[in-house]
Amino acid sequence: MRIALLSDTHVPTLLPELPSQLLERLADVDLILHAGDLVSIKILKSLQSIADTVAVHGNVDYHQVVSQLPRKQLLSVVGRQLGLIHGNQAPRIERQYLQPGTYDSPAMETFYEYLAHELPDAEIIVFGHVHVPVVKHWNDRLLVNPGAVAPYRGHSSFGLLDLDADTVRPQIIEL
């Protein structure tokens, strides 16, 4: 199964629409996971026209998105437990450890523990919020931030996850 991993699309606040290059790359996926900050519910509807889509809300989503989507989700896909969460916390907490691009800093253990606490049964956790992509094995979990579709510091990305009973192959795709 091929799963597209998206986060931080920020349409229409940072982008007027989803990039055509992204839409072309989504044509052959079986499932789309969106880790929040869609901003508009129109993005969910657009993605659902491509493939089954599961999404959670983020910290800057419009009320309509927040009212229709959960904060976190756990789903079973080909026998594996996938967790989906935006990953934002109270700013006073985030400021203690969350700096873009510092996924390997010792202070980030607090963030990883938060993700594991929020989704204790997930073996793969997809998150967003930081706008910086990462694929990290942490304890007995795979943590994936696909980065932001909306350009951040000159970069735009999404993720692909090839998944079956024997294989877990994540990759980050630059747009």
Strand partners for 83: 74, 125
Token look-up 């998150």 returns: 127
Total domain count, the chain: 1
Q: For residue 51, give its domain range.
A: 2-174
Q: Euclidean distance between the first and final Cα of the chain, in Å?
A: 22
CATH number, domain of 116, equals 3.60.21.10
- Confidence (pLDDT) at 92: 64
pTM reported for the whole predicted model: 0.93
Residue 102, pLDDT > 70, answer no
- Half-sphere exposure (Cβ direction) of 39: Cα atoms closer than 13 Å: 14
- Confidence (pLDDT) at 100: 53
Residue 98, pLDDT > 70, answer no
